Amino acid sequence: MTESLDAVLEQVEQELSASNVKPATTSDIAAKAPTFTNLTPAKQASVKSLDHLYAVKLDAEAVLGRADLSVEDMLNLGVGSVVELDRFVSDPVDLIVQNVRVARGEVVVVNDQFAIRITEIIGA
C-alpha cells in the first residue's frame, strides 16, 4: 500500500509542477485579526422569581431505617412479622427528595397520621 501511496503523491507533484501552480508562501497569505461586535448584557430583573417552580411535584420519602433480608426471610414475612432496622428509635429519620437526602427529623403524629418534624437541613 505504501508503494501505491508514493505513486499517488508523485503523480500529484507532477501535475502541480505541470500546471505551474506554486505553493503559497507566508507573504502570499493575507491574515488579519477577527473583529467581534460588542456584546451587552441582556436586561435582567433585579429579583429572580421562583414562582413558576412552586407547582412542580417532587417525590419525597421518609427513611426510618434499612434491613438486609435474604429471599427466604422475605418470603417468610407475614402479618405480625417484625423486621429489625439498622437504626435506634431515638435516631433521626432521613427525608429523601428525588433520591437526595435533604433533611433529618423526628417522627410525630398529626391528626392520626405520621409526619416528620424537621430538625436538621442537610447542606450542599
Q: Is the pLDDT of residue 1 over 60?
A: no
Domains of the chain: 54-121 (2.30.330.10)
CB 48 within 8 A of CB 81: no
Exposure string over 99-118, b if 16+ CB within 10 A, otherwise e: eeebbbbeeeeeeeeeebee
- Average pLDDT over the chain reads 84
Q: Can you give the pTM of this predicted structure?
A: 0.52
| Each residue's pLDDT tens digit, 78-103 | 999 999 999 998 899 999 999 999 99
Q: pLDDT: is 46 or 102 the higher one? A: 102
The pLDDT assigned to 83 comes to 93
| Each residue's pLDDT tens digit, 4-28 | 788 888 888 888 777 766 666 666 6
Whole-number Å distance between alpha carbons of 99 and 61: 9
